[in-house]
Amino acid sequence: MINGLIILCAYLIGSIPSGLWIGKIFYNTDIREHGSGNLGATNTFRTLGKKAGIIVTVMDVLKGTAAVLLVTLPVFSDTTLHSLLLGLVAVIGHMFPIFANFRGGKAVATSAGVLLGYSWPLFVLLFITFIVTLKITKIVSLTSMIAALVALIYAIVYYFITGDFALGILVAFLFTFIIYRHRANIARIKNGTEPKVKWL
Q: Is the pTM of this model over 0.85?
A: yes
Question: What is the spatial distance between Cα 155 and Cα 144, in angstroms, rounded to a whole number?
Answer: 16
Of 121, 74, 108, 98, the C-alpha closest to 177 is 108
Q: Where along the chain do its domains lie?
A: 2-191
The answer to whether residue 198 scores a pLDDT higher than 80 is no
The answer to whether residue 20 scores a pLDDT higher than 80 is yes
Question: What is the spatial distance between Cα 143 and Cα 155, in angstroms, rounded to a whole number?
Answer: 18
Q: What is the pLDDT of residue 200?
A: 65
